[in-house]
Amino acid sequence: MKWYTACGLCAAFLSLAFFGGCGSSKTDGILTIAVIPKGTTHEFWKSVHAGAVKAGREMDINIIWKGPQKEDDREEQIKVVEDFIARGVDGIVLAPLDDKALCQPVNEAVAEGVPVVIVDSGLQSDKKISFVSTDNHKGGCLAAQRLGELLEGSGKVIMLRYQEGSASTSAREKGFMETLSADFPEIEVVSSDQYGGATTESAMQKGENILIRHRQIDGIFCPNESTTFAMLRVLQEAGQAGRIKFVGFDASAKLAQALRKGELHGLILQNPFRMGELGVKTLVSYIKGGDVPKVIDTGETLVTGDNMDDPEIEELLNPDLSRWLD
């Protein structure tokens, strides 16, 4: 009898140590929220991380940041979600790599009592608590309006897509194509079926191939940071930067520099810092019994060489994340 009692006490101790080690509310009263990005290399996700950290400090909760390195590693992101479910976190903020592939792990999380807020990119599941994101379709519409006006309503355009299964960029691409067709019918889209993929290198290769096939190009649209930067490099190496009208998406120091030099003619900016912050705050509010909106729009802004020095635009273009990220 004594042997069984000792084993029971040992098991109980190990269980407490496990949950205590991941900072769960089950032992110390402090919520632990896992924030899972699509990837960890692009500048966009650093801003999301900083926003989540800000929310964590203000609300006195633990934030665990973990995601796949590359934005095409669906299996790794699924594994991260499953690991956090097993660890017993109090909630998950997730930017799904694939709007279908991540449905099952999210449904499993909710079934295990772990609520999930989706940020940045949509998910085909009704189990999510809320969706915190840019209006991506509207962002694509803004890009088309900018490019159409730059081309004065005529010319040949290419669109380098990002990645199949990415709901956010798919919505941007759809908005771009619909607006060009409706508002600028004399603009011809000569290539719109190529995907750059998750890395700058793969997007550069696709961009180079498109420009080889279509030598007379007047305008370009790219729907995210990596494709925009990749196409910028392709144009720079070909000596075409600035000549071809170019509208991209998202911000980085190099893209801001290109905008100032006239090598980019427009960027559609999101507010990833606010996305990370509101994703966490919305989830915590739900956990504590509050009513939360099903959809939260974090905004989208067209930035050009003319307005990039406005204070509010400057903050989006060159956010100071040092206060939040070591």
On the question of pLDDT at 24 being above 60, the answer is no
Domain ranges of the chain: 23-133+272-298, 136-269
Average pLDDT for 37-64: 95
| DSSP class of 241 | B
What is the Cα–Cα distance from 214 to 208, expressed in whole angstroms? Answer: 10
Over residues 199-220, mean pLDDT: 96
CATH architecture of 23-133+272-298: 3-Layer(aba) Sandwich (3.40)
Query: Does residue 301 surpass a pLDDT of 80?
Result: yes
pLDDT of residue 162: 97
CATH no. of 136-269: 3.40.50.2300
* Fold match between domain 23-133+272-298 and domain 136-269: yes
**Is 90 exceeded by the pLDDT of residue 75?**
yes
pLDDT over 60 (residue 21): no
pLDDT at 7 over 80: no
pLDDT tens-place string over residues 128-173: 999 999 999 999 999 999 999 999 999 999 999 999 999 999 999 9
- The stretch 201-223 carries a mean pLDDT of 96
Q: Concatenate the DSSP letters of all residues of 155-207 into one string.
A: EEEEEEE--TT-HHHHHHHHHHHHHHHHH-TTEEEEEEEEE--SSHHHHHHHH
pLDDT value of residue 195: 98
Sheet holding 219-221, edge to edge: 187-195, 155-161, 219-221, 245-249, 266-269, 301-303
Q: What is the pLDDT of residue 28?
A: 66
Mean pLDDT of 181-185: 98
